[in-house]
Structure 1
Amino acid sequence: MSQTNYRILVINPMVEGTKLSLFENDQCLYEQMLAIDDVHLKKEVMEQRTYRKRAIMDRIQAIGIDVASIDAVCGRGGLLRPIEGGTYLVNQRMVEDLQNNINGIHVSNLGAMLAYDIAKDWNIQAYIVDPVVVDEMMEIAKRTGLPNVKRKSIFHALNQKSVARSLAKQLHANYEDLTLVVAHMGGGLTVGIHQYGKVVDVNNGFDGDGPFSFERAGSLPNEALVQLGYHSGMSMEELQYKLINESGIKAYLGIERNTDLHLLFKSQRERVEEVFEILAYQVAKEIGKISTVAAGKVNAIALTGELAKFDYLTQKIIEQVSWIADTYVYPGENVMLALAQGTLRVLQGIEKVKQYK
C-alpha cells in the first residue's frame, strides 16, 4: 500500500528573512519567518547561504520536529536557465548555475541551494516548482519589430500555474484541457494565457512589458523612454531601478508598501480609485489582447495577487472583460502552499519529476 501522508519542508528566501513552512500533504502544520540580523542583511546574497541554513536547522531543532518524518524539501526557484513548467529535482548543475548567477542575482536563487544543502544532510530529495524563468512561449510570441531582439518569458509562474490549477478544479476540469487567462497583480504584473497546461504567451512584467503594477512602470512609449534615458542624468542602473522599483502605484500615490495602499484606500479612497481606474483599464486591455492568441476561445479568466484584494479594482476589470469569459478572483499569493502542492504531486505519482539539464 502506498504512503498517503507526506511531510514537506518548504523554504522561501526573502530579502528580510527566510520563510519556513512544514506541510503534511497540503495542510500547513507550522510556518515561521526567520528574520536576518543586520550584519548578514548587508552581505551579498550568496554570502548568506550558510547563515540562513543554520537558522533553519536551529529552528527545526528548537520546535522538536523529527527530521526522519520529513519526506522532501522544496525551495523557491530562482533565476535559472529557461525551463518548462513543473517540479524539478535540485541537482548539482542547478546549484552551480545559481551560484554563478547564470540569469541574474536574486535572493530567490538561495531557495534551491538551501533545499539542496538540507536534503543532502537528511538523505532525502530537494525540489523546486515553477520558477519565474518558466518558458513555454510559442516562438512567434517572442518576436519583436527588431529581428535581433526577442521577448523573454519571466513571470509569476508559480502563482499563475497554482491559480490555474485551482480554477480548473473549480470548473470540474483538468488544467491540461482548458484555455485560461491568468492576471497576477502585485509588485509586478503579468498576464498569461494557459493553453492545455502551457503558458504559450505572457508579458514580461519584470523588464517592463505590459501594464504598470504596484512598483513597476510597465510599457512606455519608445520616444519618451529614450528621452528619459538621455536627459534624466541617471545612469543605466539608476534608470532601471526607477522603472522597476519606483514607478507604478508607488509613483502615483507617493507610497512605499502595500500596507500604505490599504491605509490610503480607507483615508483617501477617491485618490486611490483614480489610479485603480487607469490600472484596471490597462489590465483589461492586456487580457483582451492576449485572449486573441486563442481567437477569443477562453474558458475562464482569473485575477490574483495582492492587488486582487481590492474589490474596486477587480470589479472594474471584470466589467471590461466579462464578454470574453467568466472571471474568478483569487486574492493574494500563497507561495508556500503552491510549492508544497507541486512537490506533493510528484511524491504521489500524479506528475513525473523533471530533470534540470
Structure 2
Amino acid sequence: MNLTFDILVINPGSTSTKIAWYKNDVEVWAKTIRHSLEELSKFDGVIKQLDFRLGAVEGAVKEMGYSYDMLDAVIGRGGIVDPPMPGGVYEVEEVLIEHLKMCKPWEHASNLGGLMANAIAGPRNIPAFIADSVATDELDDIARITGLPELPKCSLAHTLNIKSVVRKAAKELNDDWRKLRFIVAHLGGGFSICAHKDGRMIDLNNANENGPFSPERAGTVPSGDLVRLCYSGKYNIKELRRKLAGESGFVGYLGTNDMRDVKERVKKGDEKAALVYRAMALQVAKEIASYSATLEGEVDAIILTGGVVYDEDFAAMVTERVQWIAPVLVYPGENEMKSLAENALRVLRGEEKAASYADVVRNYKKREVV
C-alpha cells in the first residue's frame, strides 16, 4: 500500500525560521520567515522566542492555504543537548523537551526545532521528531584526545547533511550505508569534515573551532599566537570569539564571505584572492587526507558537499589533491529541509524506529579523558 504522508519541516535559525510542507519526500511549498533584530531583542534568550516563532509559522501556513490538521507528522532541526546523542531520528518526548529548554552546554536556535514541532504536533496527537542534531556525538574515544586534557574534542558538525549524503552515496554504490567508509567534507559558511565508518561519525573537526579556514571562520590557528592575541588587550572575549567565527577566513583576508565574489576577483587577476582561494582548497584537502589515517586507508568514497562546491573549480582543486585516496563524489548544496522530511518519512513508513532520548540519558556515562 502506497501511503501519502503530509510532513511539516521546521528549521529555526538565528534570525529566520525556514518551514516547508512535504508530501512524502516531495516539497509542496517552502517559506523563509525573517525575524528582525528589533523583534528578537524583546526576548531574553532563544527559548523565550518559542511562542513568537510559533505564531509566525502558523500565520505562514495559513497564508499558503494549509492547515495543521492536514499533517501526519512534524519534524524540527535537532538542537544541542547535554548529554549529546548519537545520530538518528528521535521522537520529541518529555525528557528531550526538558533538555532542549536547558540550552546546555550552550544556546542555539536549533533547540527551538523540537519544541516547535512538539507544540504543533501534540494537540493533534501526531508524532513530533528531530533528527541528526548539530551536536550529534558518535566519536571514538581515541578521537577525543587533543593533547590538552582540559580541552577534549567537542563533536559539532553539519550532521544532517552529512548523514543525508552518506545515504545518497551508499545508494549509488548499491550498498548499505551502515557498512561503508566515507570521508565527508561539508563545505558551507563553516566546514565539517569527518570520517564516517559503519554508520557513525567516528572522527571530525569541530566546525566552529578547528580544521580548515572557511569563508568566515578561522579554523585551526597557531595556539601560542592565539594566546598572545587573547592577552594583547585588543579584544574582549566576545569580540575575539566573533573574530574567530564570523570575521575570519575569506572575511578576514578579503572582506567577503561570498564565494562568488572571491571567484570573480580571481578571474580578474587579483593575486591575493587567488592565493587565499587556493590555500582554502589545500587546507580542505589536507584535512580530508588526515581522516584517511583514521579509516586506516580503507575508504569507499570521499564526498564533497555544501554550498562551496557549487564552485566546480574549487571542487576540482580539492579532488585533484585527494583522489588518490578514493573516488570523489560531489553533491553541491545542503538540502537540510528535504533531509529532515526523509528522516520523518522513514519512521512513518516503518523503515526505521524513532529513538528515545530518555534512553540516551539513562545509559549515558560521563566520559573522562585520561
TM-score normalized by structure 2? Answer: 0.91
- Report the alpha carbon displacement of residue 112 of structure 1 after superposing the two structures with TM: 1.0
Residue type of the alignment partner of 2:77: R
Match of 2:97? 95
Match of 2:129? 127
Seen in structure 2, the aligned counterparts of structure 1 residues 112 and 147 have a Cα distance that, compared at 3 Å, is same
Matched, 1:230 2:243: no
Aligned-residue Cα RMSD (Å) equals: 1.8
Contact 2:167 2:177 in 1 (8 A): yes
Match of 1:31? 30
Q: In the aligned structure 1, how far is the partner of 2:115 from the partner of 2:266? A: 40
Structure 1 residue matching 2:55: 3-state secondary structure = helix
Q: In the aligned structure 2, how far is the partner of 1:175 from the partner of 1:269? A: 43
Match of 2:342? 341
Q: Unaligned stretches of 5+ in structure 1? A: none
Seen in structure 2, the aligned counterparts of structure 1 residues 36 and 258 have a Cα distance that, compared at 3 Å, is farther
Structure 1 residue matching 2:149: 3-state secondary structure = coil
- Report the alpha carbon displacement of residue 121 of structure 1 after superposing the two structures with TM: 2.5
Seen in structure 2, the aligned counterparts of structure 1 residues 90 and 59 have a Cα distance that, compared at 3 Å, is same
Seen in structure 2, the aligned counterparts of structure 1 residues 105 and 317 have a Cα distance that, compared at 3 Å, is same
The number of residue pairs the alignment matches comes to 355
Q: In the aligned structure 2, how far is the partner of 1:140 from the partner of 1:150? A: 10
Q: In the aligned structure 2, how far is the partner of 1:269 from the partner of 1:174? A: 46
Contact 2:262 2:277 in 1 (8 A): no
Q: In the aligned structure 2, how far is the partner of 1:286 from the partner of 1:75? A: 31
Q: In the aligned structure 1, how far is the partner of 2:65 from the partner of 2:46? A: 29
Q: Unaligned stretches of 5+ in structure 2? A: 359-370
Q: In the aligned structure 1, how far is the partner of 2:70 from the partner of 2:316? A: 45
Match of 1:158? 160
Seen in structure 2, the aligned counterparts of structure 1 residues 144 and 36 have a Cα distance that, compared at 3 Å, is closer
Seen in structure 2, the aligned counterparts of structure 1 residues 73 and 100 have a Cα distance that, compared at 3 Å, is same
- Report the alpha carbon displacement of residue 335 of structure 1 after superposing the two structures with TM: 0.8
Match of 1:142? 144
**Which stretch shows the higher mean deviation, 253-262 or 175-184?**
253-262
TM-score normalized by structure 1? Answer: 0.94
- 1:113-124 equivalences in 2 (<5 Å): 113-124=115-126
Matched, 1:201 2:203: yes
Match of 2:6? 7
The runs of at least 4 consecutive aligned structure 1 residues that moved more than 4 Å come to 256-271
Residue type of the alignment partner of 2:146: T
Contact 1:98 1:109 in 2 (8 A): yes
- Report the alpha carbon displacement of residue 38 of structure 1 after superposing the two structures with TM: 5.0
Seen in structure 2, the aligned counterparts of structure 1 residues 257 and 315 have a Cα distance that, compared at 3 Å, is closer
Q: In the aligned structure 1, how far is the partner of 2:133 from the partner of 2:239? A: 27
Contact 1:19 1:34 in 2 (8 A): yes
Residue type of the alignment partner of 2:80: L
% identical aligned pairs: 40
Determine which of 84, 87, 103 is the counterpart of 1:85: 87
Matched, 1:210 2:211: yes
| Alpha-carbon displacement from aligned partner over 1:189-244 (angstroms, at most 9, x marks no partner) | 111111111111111121x1211111110111111111111114212222111101
Q: In the aligned structure 2, how far is the partner of 1:135 from the partner of 1:31? A: 30
- Report the alpha carbon displacement of residue 138 of structure 1 after superposing the two structures with TM: 0.4
Q: In the aligned structure 2, how far is the partner of 1:312 from the partner of 1:240? A: 31
